[in-house]
Amino acid sequence: MLIRLRDLQTLSVESTDGAHHQVADLLARRDGTDVTHVATRLRRWFEGQGCAIRAAAFGAPDLSANVWPAAISEAEAGDAGSDGPVAVLCAPDALPDPADVAAAEDGSALAYLSAAEGAPVTGADGEAAGTVLDLIVDTEKRRVAMIVVNSGPGGTAHQRVIPAEALSKIDWNAGDLHLSCDASQVGEAPDLHELGDRIEGHWYNRVLAYYGFG
């Protein structure tokens, strides 16, 4: 499923015992598109400790119920750092430090995707292509599929989408995003178009084709 990061942040992680914990953010490879963990605060367990749940534990989001089911139990959450679904627990009302999560895994640098909001996007010609408004995540493939940029002044008329394939350089944390295409190509790209809460597959394919990735 293709879904905006902001919409994912409105969902609750639904554990196997029916407990709900609000999605706070997503962690990804700092220099890539792979989504590695979902960050939440365990309001029903452990006095609200912050938690990084491995993305592989999640099923498909249920937008009608506003939940994102995950194969996680209270016992597994308490066994953080094992081979189970939870990588790290931290202090109550906080979120795990990406460096701590990386240390608990394979050591690859991680970043919260929300850190990219407002980041400038630069075309291959060195010109400004816009600023990041949101990200579109493929929850099945566990990757950032597109970025949503504001390519002009005000309103939704200048909201454009860029497929991750067109990113030649990524640093989510530093807000350093560069494209393999010129900035002018973004201004003429298909705009953000959704059907209800779900992003249309035909529209996604049209965006890919526009940028030459069909």
Q: CA 67 to CA 63: how far, in whole Å?
A: 7
Residue 194 scores a pLDDT above 90:
no
Q: Are strands 128-138 and 2-4 parallel, antiparallel or unpaired?
A: antiparallel
The domain made up of 114-211 has a fold known as Photosynthetic Reaction Center; Chain H, domain 2 (3.90.50)
- 118 vs 193, higher pLDDT: 118
Q: CA 129 to CA 65: how far, in whole Å?
A: 37
Residue 4 scores a pLDDT above 70:
yes
Q: 5, 37, 56, 45: which is closest to 21 by C-alpha?
A: 45
CATH 3.90.50.10 range(s) for the chain read 114-211
Question: How is residue 208 written in tokens?
Answer: 């890919």
CATH 2.30.30 range(s) for the chain read 2-112
84-106 per-position pLDDT tens digit? 999 999 998 899 999 999 999 98
Residue that is written with structure tokens 């709900």 in the block = 20
Q: How sure is the predictor about 193, in pLDDT bands with cuts at 50, 70 and 90?
A: low
pLDDT at 205: 86
pLDDT at 155: 54
* 2-112: in CATH 1.10.760: no
51-72 per-position pLDDT tens digit? 999 999 999 999 999 999 999 9
Q: What is the average pLDDT across 142-165? A: 83
H helices of 16-142, where? Answer: 74-77, 98-104
